[in-house]
C-alpha cells in the first residue's frame, strides 16, 4: 500500500446532495470543510476534545470542524509495528455504510485510509451508547417505558431496512446496547458495522463467529456455530 491518504466524503457537511471524492498525497490539502491530512496520516485543523470512548477496534473522539459542526472520529488502533490494525473491520464498515441512508443508522460522512493512521468520520450522536446510559442509575431512570419502546422500534426499523431495503442486504451481526447510540430525542441510531456482512447473491456467506455474548442467538452462544432458525434472524 502506498503512503497516500484517501478521504472520501459520502455526504456533504454543507447539505450538498452530490458526493465528493478527493485524495491527496504528501500533505497537500483536500479541503472544502477545513480538514487536512499530512503524509503521516494525521488529521489537522480539527479540534479534538478530551471526550473519547474506546471501542472494539478504535477510539472514538468528539471533534469540532472549523465550521463549528460537531462530528465523531473513530481512529483505528495501531499494531505493535505502528501500522493500522483491524483493516478488515474498517473496510467492512465503509462497505456497509457507504450507501446507507436511514434515520436509525449512524451516518458515515467519510474516511481516511492510511497505512499508519486510518479513521472514520461520523455524525455525532449526543447521548452516547444505550449501554452507557443503562449503566448509570440516574440516566437509566430517564428512560421511561415510552422512550424504551421507541428505542426498540428504532432498532427494529434499522434492521428491517438493512435486511429488506438494501441491495445487497446487510447483516449487522453485533446488535447490542453498546452499538446503539441515542440522540437528544432518545432516537436510536445503530452503529459499529465492523462485523457487518453484505449478503451477496450466489454466495454461501459462511463466516466465523461474530457478535456479543448475551446478545447472539442462544444456540450460537452455546455452540459457537451458526443457526439458520428464522426466529434468530433479527438478532
Catalytic (active-site) positions: 174
Q: Which three cell numbers stand for residue 160?
A: 428491517
Alpha carbons 35 and 162: distance in angstroms, whole number: 31
Q: What is the 3-state secondary structure (H, E, C) of the chain?
A: CCCCEEEEECCCCCCCCCCEEEEECCCCCCCCCCCEECCCCCEECCEEEEEEEECCCEEEEEEECCCCCEEEEEEECECCCCCECCHHHHHHHHHHHCCCCCCCECCEEEEEECCCCCEEEEECCCCCEHHHHHCCHHHHCCCCHHHHHHHHHHHHHHHHHHHHHCCCCEECCCCCHHHEEECCCCCEEECCCCCCEECCCCCCCCCCCCCCCCCCCHHHHHHCCCCCCHHHCCC
Residue 187's Cβ-count burial label (10 Å; 0-12, 13-18, 19+) is middle
Q: What is the β-pairing status of strands 180-182 and 188-190? A: antiparallel
Specify which residues 5 forms β-bridges with: 24
Amino acid at each position: 500500500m502506498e503512503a497516500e491518504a484517501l478521504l472520501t466524503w459520502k455526504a456533504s457537511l454543507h447539505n450538498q446532495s452530490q458526493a465528493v471524492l478527493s485524495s491527496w498525497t504528501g500533505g497537500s490539502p483536500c479541503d472544502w470543510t477545513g480538514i487536512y491530512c499530512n503524509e503521516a496520516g494525521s488529521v489537522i485543523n480539527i479540534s479534538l476534545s478530551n471526550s473519547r470512548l474506546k471501542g472494539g477496534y478504535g477510539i472514538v473522539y468528539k471533534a469540532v470542524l472549523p465550521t463549528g459542526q460537531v462530528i465523531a472520529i473513530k481512529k483505528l488502533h495501531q499494531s505493535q509495528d505502528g501500522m493500522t490494525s483491524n483493516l478488515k473491520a474498517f473496510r467492512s464498515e465503509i462497505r456497509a455504510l457507504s450507501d446507507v441512508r436511514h434515520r436509525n443508522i449512524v451516518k458515515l460522512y467519510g474516511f481516511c485510509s492510511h497505512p499508519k493512521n486510518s479513521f472514520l468520520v461520523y455524525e455525532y450522536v449526543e447521548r452516547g451508547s444505550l449501554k452507557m446510559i443503562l449503566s448509570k442509575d440516574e440516566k437509566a431512570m430517564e428512560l421511561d417505558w415510552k422512550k424504551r419502546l421507541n428505542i426498540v422500534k428504532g432498532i427494529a426499523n434499522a434492521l428491517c431496512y438493512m435486511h429488506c431495503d438494501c441491495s445487497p442486504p446487510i447483516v449487522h451481526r453485533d446488535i447490542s446496547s453498546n452499538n446503539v447510540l441515542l440522540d437528544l430525542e432518545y432516537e436510536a441510531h445503530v452503529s459499529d458495522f465492523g462485523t457487518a456482512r453484505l449478503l451477496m447473491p450466489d454466495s454461501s456467506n459462511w463466516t466465523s463467529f461474530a457478535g456479543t455474548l448475551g446478545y447472539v442467538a442462544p444456540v450460537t452462544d452455546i455452540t459457537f456455530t451458526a443457526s439458520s432458525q428464522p426466529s434468530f434472524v433479527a438478532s
